[in-house]
Amino acid sequence: MTRVRVDAERCVGSGSCEALAPDMFEVGDDGIVEILQPLDGAAARALAADAVQVCPTRALSLVD
């Protein structure tokens, strides 16, 4: 099952992913994004792929 991986070393808490998919991402108090839910279905996977693209620091990746 595909999941989103966050590279905490790269995440700068910009919130771009959260703005795109607030049900999927949330920037925590520590400034590092958290994944709120697993990728369930093609639509969620496509949304996650978009989030990977908008992240300014390339902190997100999809892992099969």
Residues 2-31 that bind ligand SF4 (CB under 6 A): 6, 11-17, 25, 27
* Cβ–Cβ < 8 Å for 47, 21: yes
Q: Assess 35 for contact with ligand SF4 (CB under 6 A).
A: no
**Binding residue for ligand SF4 (CB under 6 A) from 4, 21, 33, 39?**
33
Q: Assess 48 for contact with ligand SF4 (CB under 6 A).
A: no
Q: Assess 61 for contact with ligand SF4 (CB under 6 A).
A: no
Q: For strand 3-6 and strand 60-63, is the pairing parallel, antiparallel, or unpaired?
A: antiparallel
Nearest by Cα to 31 from 17, 15, 13: 13
